[in-house]
């Protein structure tokens, strides 16, 4: 017969006056830092004691009980009760519920203390979320919940943010099907259908990282830091019925706007409203767009405006603003950091000064009647207004012997579009050909090479304009070749300085850092030039040497051409000439130390990754992040692979070979400089 299972006996419990309790020296919790006794005392004051103390009788030397009890387990609660007594909030004789261990127990007091502190299970985050949600539904505010549990309000908000996650995903997390970080990533969107789609995709993938979940949930959204959002304002978007997705767990730079169509409509509406105001000034036409192509004004004539003098009141205001600015800067010259209010005031002063100093030019009504204005967004989200452009058909007919007094700067009149237009690739291919291409390292398309090298040309122009010494050296090199060698090759630098158009370019190029720098530099010089052409030569002659060289470099920079072009066999320029141009561009880039990463280029789906084969994508990831990173995305389809690669390559500094600056170039022994233009089709070099 099986023996009966021996039943255990539990220690008895009783209420003991607080002044009969002492803290045991057997309590294993010795370190007092971070114990938050004050918070526990406040919680006991609010809701009472939720858990009793574990005590043992204190014995005399002969083994008899003294009537006192020591507390080996529950010392933090005991200290909190003592604090309440000192605060006059609890009587020192108050009865405390205790579990009394027998004096002769074989279980050591240290054993009880250690067990109580180690055998506790922390509350599951999902249980905490559900508890907070229940309290919220029963009428408590987020602040009241935070105060009751002595946690920051942000913690409560973060836990309650999980309410946006679907019950299906909460169940997956509850069953350990995903990590807490992954569940948190889903909380940025309240679209349960999209959450399910994303989980269905990544649950079958090796990569389930939270950043990928966030990116997939926000891939069809607009960042709050986007130039369009800065232009229209977040409040206007919300007022129009838009919703902003926020991430309460990580820095989200203002969040994501989940209705790109609404954003674009608000941008266009605001631009059109501004365009109507400008049209009322008397212009013949006004064009408004989010952005215009690079070089969109090159085929227009430009009329000259005159500066508007400040009124006496405006001049006095400007003087007062400058004086206040100088006083503040002098007062805080030694400060490491400005107070927030002072920094805000300086910003207001700078804006007010800019509004007074950089006012629109005034134009003659007769000129405005045949000229127009371009209205668009600048790269920082500010309004960009370009006034005073005349179409060729609107130009007045001027007789040869008539005085040239039409207000136009004829030195800037374009000679026509002399630049050759790059043939556009036929981007439509059959599905079978596309699938075959994805499995091979097929050379980059001619159009993509042209776009990449157009980007490089723009950045090269900016670096060229910023280095007058190299600019003059390149100019002399070109002139000497033409004068002494009668070189008929196609030079990287078109020394007669005709602006080379960049008609084929990626969408991100007009808003890039080099484009902004060139535009700002050009506007600065244009502002400084004399209005009268008769004074121009003398003005240039009186410039200091540094300014003369800087202006020379700036003018020459517009002749820089580092573009790849696929020329027809009967073209005026051969592919050998294009190859020579690119080799010289490489040498110039090396001399300038051109770095396209510093210039702002980075690989995206739009400008590179979505335009090349899977083999090229994997090669890029492998070069930038290693074989393991490439292996993690190798199984993906082309579109998913491109989007994932964009995230992986972000911040890596990786560049396609066509954009890389080679090391110092060397001579081939015949006086020609040799430099390898990477990623250019072999047929170019063979011709």
Is pLDDT of 485 > 50? no
Determine which of 207-211, 249-253, 450-454, 541-545 has the lowest per-residue pLDDT on average: 249-253
At residue 272, the pLDDT reads 93
Determine which of 99-113, 478-492, 507-521, 536-550 has the lowest per-residue pLDDT on average: 478-492
Cβ atoms of residues 677 and 582 within 8 Å: yes
Tens-place pLDDT, residues 327-348: 988 888 888 788 888 888 888 8
At residue 619, the pLDDT reads 92
Euclidean distance between CA atoms 325 and 555, whole angstroms? 35
At residue 76, the pLDDT reads 84
H-assigned helices in 332-442: 340-357, 365-368, 431-438
% of the chain at pLDDT higher than 90:
17
Tens-place pLDDT, residues 114-134: 877 776 666 677 777 777 888
SS3 state at 604: coil
Residue, of 373 and 606, whose pLDDT is higher: 373
Confidence band for 200, pLDDT divided at 50, 70 and 90: confident
Hey, what are 11's tokens?
């220690």
At residue 269, the pLDDT reads 93
Tens-place pLDDT, residues 591-614: 888 998 888 899 999 899 999 999
Residue, of 80 and 474, whose pLDDT is higher: 80
Residue, of 120 and 587, whose pLDDT is higher: 587
pTM assigned to the model: 0.50
Hey, what are 79's tokens?
């200290």
At residue 671, the pLDDT reads 39
| Max mean pLDDT range (81-85, 441-445, 474-478, 682-686) | 81-85
Euclidean distance between CA atoms 528 and 653, whole angstroms? 37
| Max mean pLDDT range (251-260, 463-472, 618-627, 654-663) | 618-627
Cβ atoms of residues 584 and 491 within 8 Å: yes
Half-sphere exposure of 229 (CA within 13 A, CB side): 21
Residue, of 496 and 232, whose pLDDT is higher: 232
Is pLDDT of 554 > 70? yes
At residue 681, the pLDDT reads 44
Is pLDDT of 479 > 60? no
Cβ atoms of residues 232 and 664 within 8 Å: no
Cβ atoms of residues 156 and 146 within 8 Å: yes
DSSP state of 122: P
Confidence band for 418, pLDDT divided at 50, 70 and 90: very low
Mean pLDDT of the chain: 79
At residue 618, the pLDDT reads 93
Confidence band for 73, pLDDT divided at 50, 70 and 90: confident
Mean pLDDT of all residues in 275-295 = 90
At residue 481, the pLDDT reads 55
Determine which of 514-518, 597-601, 622-626 has the lowest per-residue pLDDT on average: 514-518
**Which of these, 79, 151, 73, lies nearest to 119 by C-alpha position?**
73
Euclidean distance between CA atoms 72 and 21, whole angstroms? 11
At residue 282, the pLDDT reads 93
Place of tokens 């005991």: 78
Tell how many helices (H) and how many strands (E) occur in the chain.
28, 14
Strand partners, 17: 95
Tens-place pLDDT, residues 267-281: 999 999 999 999 999
Hey, what are 339's tokens?
């107070």
Half-sphere exposure of 257 (CA within 13 A, CB side): 27
Euclidean distance between CA atoms 303 and 367, whole angstroms? 7
Determine which of 18-22, 428-432, 471-475 has the lowest per-residue pLDDT on average: 428-432
Hey, what are 254's tokens?
């203002």
% of the chain at pLDDT higher than 70:
81
Determine which of 208-222, 463-477, 531-545 has the lowest per-residue pLDDT on average: 531-545
Tens-place pLDDT, residues 53-67: 989 999 888 888 888
At residue 120, the pLDDT reads 64
* Chain centre distance of CA 268: 23
User: What's the full length of the chain, in residues?
Assistant: 687
Tens-place pLDDT, residues 298-319: 788 888 888 778 888 888 998 9
**Which of these, 88, 74, 75, lies nearest to 45 by C-alpha position?**
88
Cβ atoms of residues 228 and 264 within 8 Å: yes
Confidence band for 425, pLDDT divided at 50, 70 and 90: very low
Q: What is the dihedral of CA 641, 643, 648, 651, to 10 degrees?
A: 150
Q: What values do phi and psi take at 375, rounded to 5? A: -120, 125
Place of tokens 């127990």: 105
Cβ atoms of residues 26 and 72 within 8 Å: yes
Euclidean distance between CA atoms 26 and 107, whole angstroms? 12
Burial pattern 265-289, b for ≥16 Cβ within 10 A else e, equals ebbbebbeeebeebbeeebeebebb
At residue 673, the pLDDT reads 39
Is pLDDT of 564 > 70? yes
Confidence band for 376, pLDDT divided at 50, 70 and 90: very high
Hey, what are 562's tokens?
């580092």
At residue 270, the pLDDT reads 94
Euclidean distance between CA atoms 584 and 673, whole angstroms? 7
At residue 616, the pLDDT reads 93
Cβ atoms of residues 254 and 224 within 8 Å: yes
Helix (H) or strand (E) holding 16: strand 12-17
Is pLDDT of 151 > 60? yes
């Amino acid at each position: 017969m099986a023996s009966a299972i021996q039943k255990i006996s539990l220690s008895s419990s009783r209420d003991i006056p607080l002044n009969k309790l002492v803290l045991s020296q057997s309590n294993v919790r010795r370190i007092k830092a971070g114990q938050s006794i004050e918070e526990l005392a406040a919680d006991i004051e609010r809701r009472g004691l939720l858990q009793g103390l574990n005590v043992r009788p204190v014995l005399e030397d002969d083994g008899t009980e003294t009537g006192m009890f020591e507390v080996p387990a529950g010392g933090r609660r005991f200290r909190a009760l003592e604090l309440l007594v000192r605060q006059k909030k609890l009587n020192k004789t108050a009865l405390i519920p205790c579990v009394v261990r027998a004096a002769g127990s074989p279980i050591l007091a240290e054993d009880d203390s250690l067990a109580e502190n180690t055998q506790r299970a922390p509350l599951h985050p999902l249980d905490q979320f559900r508890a907070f949600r229940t309290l919220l539904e029963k009428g408590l505010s987020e602040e009241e919940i935070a105060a009751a549990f002595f946690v920051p309000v942000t913690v409560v908000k973060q836990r309650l943010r999980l309410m946006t996650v679907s019950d299906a995903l909460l169940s997956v997390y509850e069953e350990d099907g995903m990590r807490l970080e992954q569940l948190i990533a889903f909380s940025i969107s309240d679209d349960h259908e999209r959450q399910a789609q994303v989980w269905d995709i990544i649950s079958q993938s090796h990569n389930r990282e939270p950043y990928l979940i966030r990116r997939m949930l926000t891939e069809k959204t607009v960042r709050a830091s986007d130039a369009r959002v800065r232009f229209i304002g977040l409040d206007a978007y919300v007022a129009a019925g838009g919703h902003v997705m926020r991430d309460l767990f990580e820095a989200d730079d203002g969040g994501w706007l989940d209705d790109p169509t609404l954003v674009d409509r608000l941008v266009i509406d605001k631009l059109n409203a501004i365009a109507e105001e400008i049209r009322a000034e008397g212009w013949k036409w006004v064009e408004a767009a989010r952005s215009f192509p690079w070089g969109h004004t090159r085929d227009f004539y430009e009329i000259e405006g005159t500066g508007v003098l400040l009124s006496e009141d405006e001049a006095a205001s400007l003087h007062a603003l400058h004086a206040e600015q100088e006083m503040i800067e002098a007062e805080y010259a030694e400060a490491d950091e400005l107070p927030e209010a002072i920094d805000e005031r300086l910003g207001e002063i700078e804006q007010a000064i800019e509004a007074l100093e950089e006012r629109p030019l005034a134009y003659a009504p007769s000129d405005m009647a045949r000229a127009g204005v371009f209205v668009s967004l600048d790269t920082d989200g500010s309004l960009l207004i370009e006034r005073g452009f005349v179409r060729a058909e609107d130009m007045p007919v001027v007789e040869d012997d008539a005085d040239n007094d039409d207000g136009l700067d004829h030195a800037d009149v374009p000679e026509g579009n002399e630049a050759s237009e790059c043939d556009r690739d036929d981007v439509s291919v059959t599905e079978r050909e596309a699938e075959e291409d994805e499995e091979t390292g097929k050379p980059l398309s001619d159009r993509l090479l042209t776009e990449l090298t157009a980007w490089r040309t723009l950045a090269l122009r900016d670096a060229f304009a910023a280095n007058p010494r190299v600019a003059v050296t390149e100019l002399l090199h070109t002139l000497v070749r033409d004068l002494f060698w009668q070189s008929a090759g196609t030079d990287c630098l078109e020394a007669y300085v005709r602006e080379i158009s960049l008609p084929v370019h990626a969408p991100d190029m007009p808003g890039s850092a080099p484009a902004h720098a060139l535009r700002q530099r050009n506007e600065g010089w244009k502002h400084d030039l004399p209005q009268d052409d008769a004074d121009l030569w003398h003005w240039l002659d009186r410039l200091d040497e540094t300014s003369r060289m800087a202006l020379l470099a700036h003018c020459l920079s517009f002749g820089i051409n580092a573009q790849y072009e696929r020329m027809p066999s009967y073209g005026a320029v051969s592919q050998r000439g294009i190859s020579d141009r690119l080799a010289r561009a490489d040498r110039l880039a090396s001399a300038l130390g051109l770095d396209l990463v510093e210039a702002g280029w980075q690989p995206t789906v739009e400008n590179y990754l979505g335009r090349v084969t899977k083999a090229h994508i994997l090669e890029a990831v492998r070069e930038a992040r290693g074989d393991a990173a490439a292996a993690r995305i190798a199984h993906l389809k082309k579109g998913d692979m491109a989007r994932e690669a964009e995230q992986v390559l972000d911040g890596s500094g990786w560049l396609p070979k066509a954009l890389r600056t080679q090391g110092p170039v060397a001579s081939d022994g015949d006086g020609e400089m040799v430099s390898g233009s990477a990623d250019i089709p072999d047929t170019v070099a063979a011709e």
